[in-house]
Structure 1
């Protein structure tokens, strides 16, 4: 398959997955690496490529924006943006060979959250109480992860907010999309300023992600995401295994 067509289709799938259930980077990152983009540049390019799709999804979800666990949008957003700034700068300081070794473990964490996030949140929900002094620092750390790698960070946010009594997953989904977009926005600025984007490979993936993000958000307003979640988990497990083999056995 032509590389540009592969990246376009990967962007469409990743954008729709992010809008529905998260985990789009499990598609976009391997696609970029498969066409020869080094891992750190591929991660930066993936973040940039998926950003317009996330922005489109956030616009569709805009009527659902509100407090998270009783905490107003502004402090949550500031913590997320600051975390995204720190995480993106940390990524640029990481040599590609080191990131290649770290990446499978980041994917494993993200896959674990995809599979066990609901159970974790259910186990701890009754033991935790929401306070601004608790939620804001946790959101900062989630922002750091989002700026550095970002795989399944939206699902991590949903699980965390659910632990602290944030409400039902569907009600939290608009804020999940907004906060992931906020972390990615500052990361995108850092990556562009640092010249870390592989532009030739970025453009077809960006186009696909924009289309997929817009369409996926509209579908997500009407349909349950159970089938998409199952597909996301299957892709996550396969991708994680592939990157462990690539990092440690090839």
Structure 2
């Protein structure tokens, strides 16, 4: 009963955070590990359970979504699918021991990217489009990372969209959730074939994230300053990374 309650709470919180500012993986992944799911399987399951939240958030943002040159939306989705499959493939050949050793570093990297991302983006030349090959290479690299590990993916995608010349934050958030959903679909397809999904935990977490994602998206449209929330999520990520460093 406690495990179920923990997964419901983690799912609601993760879905809301992913919709508003990102960082839900810093809650959903450790929750799965704490209820006894092995790290590689927990990573795959966390990716699956984030999918309903991404979809509901993308639907809430459907009227704001947009893209433009240098990469049209069809190219963005194609690169995301290819990168997601490549990242999932890398995870499939990673042993439990190796991934367990990588987990704290991945959490730390994702947290730092998440926490420092807005500062870096503030100093980018918004509205200036990077050359098409550069934008494509950055998006592909981010998609490979997202197929392997979900932490910090949201802010990385926002940075990639900034290089593409997008400036409408709500539109960028909608596209971020759509791309994240596609990444999750192709990655989860590979994980499912490999038998890496903990289905009992996944069902509870996915339903909770579905509700949390929609609620978070509606709240996000009313929030003008997410600075304090981002600081809170960054602290959570650092604490989680610290715990996993101690455990390994």
TM over 0.5: yes
TM-score of Structure 1 vs Structure 2, range by shorter chain: over 0.9
Q: Secondary structure at the match of 1:62?
A: coil
Residue 61 of structure 2 contacts residue 171 of structure 2 at CA under 8 Å; is this kept in 1? no
Trace 1:138-217 onto structure 2 (pairs within 5 A). Answer: 138-163=138-163, 165-217=165-217
Trace 1:122-141 onto structure 2 (pairs within 5 A). Answer: 122-125=122-125, 129-141=129-141
Q: Secondary structure at the match of 1:167?
A: coil
Q: Secondary structure at the match of 1:166?
A: coil
Residue 121 of structure 1 contacts residue 163 of structure 1 at CA under 8 Å; is this kept in 2? no
Name whichever of 10-19 and 57-66 sits farther off.
57-66
Q: 2:247 — aligned with what?
A: 246
Q: Secondary structure at the match of 2:63?
A: helix
Q: CA deviation at 1:36?
A: 0.7
Partner deviation per Cα, 1:109-148 (whole Å, 9 max, x = no partner): 111112211222334437x742222111211111111110
Partner deviation per Cα, 1:46-103 (whole Å, 9 max, x = no partner): 1111111111111111112221564210101100110001101111111011001111
Residue 58 of structure 1 contacts residue 174 of structure 1 at CA under 8 Å; is this kept in 2? yes
**Structure 1 length normalisation: TM-score?**
0.92
Q: 1:99 — aligned with what?
A: 99
Alignment of 1:116 with 2:116, yes or no, is yes
Partner deviation per Cα, 1:132-189 (whole Å, 9 max, x = no partner): 2211121111111111001011111112333554214344111111111111111111
In structure 1, what is the Cα distance between the partners aligned to 2:13 and 2:88? Answer: 24
In structure 2, what is the Cα distance between the partners aligned to 1:135 and 1:164? Answer: 6
Q: 2:71 — aligned with what?
A: 71
Partner deviation per Cα, 1:15-48 (whole Å, 9 max, x = no partner): 1100110010000000000011100000001111
In structure 1, what is the Cα distance between the partners aligned to 2:243 and 2:94? Answer: 21
Q: Secondary structure at the match of 2:23?
A: coil
| Aligned-residue CA RMSD (Å) | 1.9
In structure 1, stretches of 5+ residues that fail to align are none
In structure 1, what is the Cα distance between the partners aligned to 2:100 and 2:171? Answer: 36
Q: 1:230 — aligned with what?
A: 231
**Structure 2 length normalisation: TM-score?**
0.93
Residue 110 of structure 1 contacts residue 152 of structure 1 at CA under 8 Å; is this kept in 2? yes
Q: 1:30 — aligned with what?
A: 30
Trace 1:46-61 onto structure 2 (pairs within 5 A). Answer: 46-61=46-61
